[in-house]
Amino acid sequence: MDAGSRALLEVDGLFAGYGSLVVLHGVSLTVSKGEIVALMGSNGAGKTTTMRTIVGLLKPIRGRVFFKDADVTRHSPEALVSRGLAMVPEGRGMLRDLTVRQNLELGAWVIGRDRARVERNLERAFTTFPVLADRQEQLAGTLSGGEQQMLALGRALMSEPELLLVDEASMGLSPSMTEVAFDLIRQVNTDLGVSVLLVEQNVLALELANRAYVLEKGEIISEAGPSEVRDMAARLQESYLGSAARAARKAKPRA
């Protein structure tokens, strides 16, 4: 990235917080077109705050957010969605009492009355996730965890985003379901060319990321380019495995 052309998303020296509590202390990161970038960090590191500030749900104290070469720092979330930046919130933010189809159509809100375009996007969501087509008249609340994840992604795609922000897609999912969720994200990235910023604490996210940042106490403490991301994965996996490695006790056999 040279000075003339910015990355798709560029976050520059972001300070943000709640009231007198400053959570982010100068967070900078970029996501280029076609990339999957992971923002790793534990609880309270400021991951969700970063994401909320990027999408305009939280006004930063200082710092800038550029999206598609434009300064969008204080834009409203709606304005950002119509510019092509969609968010998949933690907990998937499903409207449980609406059908799958109604949920998807809500995702196309910013497209407005262009029915043909909405239909086209619906079609696209259904081709990407055929299960959703089968269940389109089912209430979202009755879907399984994996299907809800599909719906959340499908809904975010309805606004034709160029960048998808995914907050903790793996939260509360079993390892096998986490794989499914990450496979879906990878699929959205390769098939539809949508760039992705993954906010995660699950190390498995590094298996699909092109680049990664580690956030700690509101600061980026390390970052990994395409060639280093595997090393970072290995390092973080150690801390994940650590809980296993430290085990030094025998299970009591049943008589």
Partner 1 sequence: MPIAMPSKAFVLSVILVKTTAAMSLNTLVGHAGQMSLGQGAFVGVGAFVAGNLAVRGLPLPIAVAGAAVAGGLVAAGTGLPSLRIRGLQVAVTTLAFGVVAEKFLFGQQWFSGGSAGLMIDRPVPFESDRAMYYVALAALGFAYWVDMRVRGTKAGRAFAAVRDSEERATSFGVEPGPSKLLAYTVSGAVAGVAGSMFIYVVGAGTPSSFDIYLSLNLVAIVIVGGVGSRIGVLASSALLLALPELVPKTIGGLNIDLGRRAPLIAAWLLVVVVVSLPGGLGSLLTRLGNRMFGSTTGSKDASTALADIDPNVIEERARAAAFIRRVPRALSLRMPSPALLEARDVCVRFGGVQALDSVSIEVRRGEVVGLIGANGAGKTTLFNVVGGFAPATGSVRFRGRELLAEADSARSGFGVARTWQQMGLLRAESIETNMLLAQHWLAAYPASLGILGFGAAGRTEAELRRRAAAAMDVFGLTELAGQRVGDLPYGLMRRAEIAAAVSAGPELLMLDEASAGISPEEARGLGDEMLALRDELELTLLVIEHHVPLIARVSDYIYCLESGKLISEGTAAQVTTDPRVVTSFLGRSATVRRAAAVALETA
- Residues in contact with partner 1 by the rule CB under 8 A: 42-44, 144-146, 168, 171-179, 201, 203-204, 207, 233, 236-237, 239-255
Measured at the CA of 92, the angle between CA 86 and CA 94, to 5 degrees, comes to 100
- Measure the CA–CA gap between 157 and 92, rounded to whole angstroms: 13
Instruction: State the nearest-atom distance from the C-beta of 61 to partner 1, in Å.
Output: 19
Contact in structure between 173 and 200 (CB atoms under 8 Å):
no
Kindly tell me which of 32 and 138 has the beta carbon lying closer to partner 1.
138
Distance separating alpha carbons of residues 138 and 119, to the nearest angstrom: 18
Which of 172/226 has CB closer to partner 1? 172
Closer residue to partner 1 (CB): 95 or 204: 204
Lookup: tokens for 71: 């300064």
CB of 110 or CB of 208, closer to partner 1? 208
Beta strand pairing status for 62-67 and 9-18?
A: antiparallel
Least distance to partner 1, CB of residue 209, Å: 14
Residue closer to partner 1 by CB (options 9, 152) is 152
Residue type, 93: G
Distance, in Å, from the CA atom of 55 to the CA atom of 57, rounded to the nearest integer, reads 6
